[in-house]
Amino acid sequence: MSVLSGKKILLGISGGIAAYKTASLVRLFIKAGAHVQVIMTPASKDFVTPLTLSTLSKNPVHSTFFNEEDEDAQWNNHVELGLWADLMVIAPATANTLSKMVNGNCDNLLIATYLSAKCPVYFAPAMDLDMYKHPSTIASFHALKQFGNTIIPAESGELASGLSGEGRMAEPENIIVFLENDLESKLPLKGKKILITAGPTYEAIDPVRFIGNYSSGKMGFDIAESASKLGATVILISGPTHLNCSNSSINLLRVTSAQEMYDACLAHFSEVDVAICAAAVADYKPKTIASQKIKKSETEFIIELEKTKDILASLGKIKEKQFLIGFALETENEIENAKLKIQKKNLDLIVLNSLQDKGAGFGNPTNKITFIDKDFIIEPMSLKPKEQVANDIMDKVISHYEISFNK
């Protein structure tokens, strides 16, 4: 899956012949899974039509602050457009537009939006070779880099003037590759490997019956998706659940029983930097499993249980460099029980759920957690969608490594 998937991209198009390439660029953004809005300078519409770009982006194309022909037209809010975007790409960026970006010459919607943008900005220059090498253009490049903008270098080849040299806007395919490589290199968990457990375990009674719990696995799957988007290599070990990963880069290993999950965790733990045990693993399993379906013949039926292996405690005993995070679902004495779990299982952080909190626990799209670290610093969080809770957990992982790097 492309790192551009799910990104909100604002494409700014200025008036150069290379604007014709933006139809392909928009198509490639959409193919990568991005959401695209387009802003055109009035001059750029001489080279490519708004209808083409609106059809490909599936969004209206913006060009002016308001439609002068419509008395009831709403103002195109450049501030909202700038805040909407996860990244802004100005392609082609002509010498005129580059100069306006540098000097804040805000005479069109594109420049107004650029000046309002809070996101990373990339620009792909396009002009004839002498213009590209002119001192004023080079000065614009330097100034924009100092502003924190990123240049997508122009390519060499035949130019519209008939000359050949440097100044061609990068081909759409190369712009996509450049953006993907640059974004991936800046992901905070790039190079880290994370093991995550999710879902319930089913402990067999006979071939058709089992002991299980109500865990849907959603919390663990959301953590895996969040970790992957932040650049981590993810191994997700899941008990029985109907969920699937939308990110194909996640290595999903499906297991059924606590023993199978234990074996999978122990097999991969030595190779990971972080382990997050979000699965609701059964504490007990039947001591014996009937080989045939048990018939309903007795008024009472007794199943003898034995403890399963404690995955989290086992990982805590053998951990070396790993940052180990556990989950605790409690119904009483929540904080004290969670603190005891941190000590007994050698955890770095615990994510506490209380069934006393409305909207938390199994089967809900939301969760309300409290973080407790190994120094017993307590940080309660508000009720949030599980996707946001997953992001909060990954923020803790990022903070851990930022602190480690700074030591």
Active site residues: 213
CB under 8 Å, gap of 24 or more: what pairs does 134-140 form?
134/95, 136/95, 136/99, 137/95, 137/98, 139/102, 140/95, 140/98, 140/99, 140/101, 140/102
SS3 label, residue 281: coil
Rounded to a whole number of angstroms, the distance between the first and last alpha carbons of the chain is: 34
In angstroms, rounded to a whole number, what is the distance separating the alpha carbons of residues 177 and 283? 48
Give me the sign of the Cα torsion angle 14, 185, 80, 111: negative
Residues 276/232, Cβ–Cβ less than 8 Å:
no
Residues 181/3, Cβ–Cβ less than 8 Å:
no
Can you give the length of the chain in residues? 407
The 8-class DSSP code of residue 106 comes to -
Residues 21/39, Cβ–Cβ less than 8 Å:
no
Provide the greatest CA pair distance for the chain: 94
